[in-house]
Amino acid sequence: MEIEEEIDDEIDEEEEIKEKLEEEEKKKQEIKEEIEEEIKEETKEEEEIKEDIKKEEMIKEEKRSKKEIEEIEEEIEEDEEEI
């Protein structure tokens, strides 16, 4: 009878260890998923920032082009006045 109890105790211990390992694995997986989600969010934010920067650069270029056009128009007007 004593041997059976020992065997039962060992089986119980093994089950406990197995459950703990499964819990740890589950926690690890949850942490991994959280990290992946954070990375995904950060990547999305970075892309949005890049897009904003692109838009700002386009606006600056457009303003620069408008200014150049205005300067050329002024030169043309001055040239016409001289003639």
Report CA dihedral (60, 66, 72, 76) to the nearest 10 degrees: -170
Count of the separate structural domains present in the chain: 1
Q: Which pTM value belongs to this model?
A: 0.58
- For the residues of 22-78, what is the DSSP string, one character each? HHHHHHHHHHHHHHHHHHHHHHHHHHHHHHHHHHHHHHHHHHHHHHHHHHHHHHHHH
pLDDT digits (tens, 9 = 90+) for 5-33: 889 999 999 999 999 999 999 999 999 99
pLDDT of residue 77: 86
81 vs 42: which has the higher pLDDT: 42
Expressed as residue numbers, the domain containing 17 is 1-83
At residue 83, the pLDDT reads 66
